[in-house]
Amino acid sequence: MSSAYISRQEPHHNSSREVFVVEDDPVLRQVLRDFLELHDLIVEDFANAEAFLASSHAATNACLLMDLELTHGMDGLDLLKRLKDSTQYLPTVVITGCCSVPRVVQAMKLGAEDLIQKPISPADLLSRITSSLEHSCSSCTLFDSCIGASDRLARLTKRQEQILDLVVAGRTSKDIAADIGISQRIVELHRSIIRKKTGAKSLPELALLTTAAKGVGLCGRKIQRQSGIAFLAV
């Protein structure tokens, strides 16, 4: 295994749980497989989205771990759209190596429930996979996460909400300052406060948080439509 991607940890047992991995980097794909199997998870990996879609992935206690920046054939957003349009549901964790807020927001709108940025933290990866597997068993977990996101954003002032919307839209601090008529220094101060209040450490995390908060009103309808399985799409 290459330590450039992820380091090994002591195993943590999660019997009878399956993770489908879609990753076109063969080294990272093997590293992810080895790490997840080390923690007693059943793993089936695929080099591209087409191979995954052609396979049977109807496991009831499973989740999908996929790279958003697939470079061969169908890309990550295309795969998410195909899954959203199908009748099958899989909680999905997206791996991304970029900080493109529009792409992250689009991934959330297409049904991705969580994201993890490269370089991948082993503890973070295991935590998010465990959470996604819990989502596959309980529709209430996703609804609770929507409510939690809404509560965190409720701590913001109206000005901070305004700045957050512009940040998620991809505007720079300089642009935001010009847009709303305040100094760039004040914008940076508000952004720092927003990170502290929400607990978000990056732009993609802020995008994920705002998308989840907007899903509060949709969760109930989606749970009912999926016969007890939550599916977040905004």
Kindly list the strands in the beta sheet with 42-46, ordered across the sheet, starting from the edge strand earlier in the chain.
42-46, 18-22, 62-67, 92-96, 114-117
The answer on 175 and 91 residing in a single domain is no
**CATH code for the domain of 70:** 3.40.50.2300
For residue 34, is it within any domain? yes
The answer on 31 and 107 residing in a single domain is yes
Q: What is the pLDDT of residue 153?
A: 84
Distance CA 204, CA 104 (A): 6
Q: What is the pLDDT of residue 56?
A: 74
Q: What is the pLDDT of residue 9?
A: 42
- Token readout for 224 is 């009912």
Q: What's at 132, amino acid-wise?
A: S
The answer on 26 and 68 residing in a single domain is yes
Q: What is the pLDDT of residue 85?
A: 83
Q: What is the pLDDT of residue 110?
A: 87
Angle of helix 101-109 relative to helix 76-85, nearest 10 degrees? 20
- For the chain, the domain total comes to 2
The answer on 104 and 188 residing in a single domain is no
For residue 86, is it within any domain? yes
**Domain assignment of residue 202, given as a range:** 148-210
The answer on 99 and 202 residing in a single domain is no
Q: What is the pLDDT of residue 98?
A: 73
- Token readout for 10 is 């002591």
The residue ranges of the chain whose pLDDT is under 50 are 1-15, 139-141, 216-234
Q: What is the pLDDT of residue 104?
A: 84
For residue 226, is it within any domain? no
Instruction: Identify whether the C-beta of residue 79 lies closer than 8 Å to the C-beta of residue 145.
Output: no
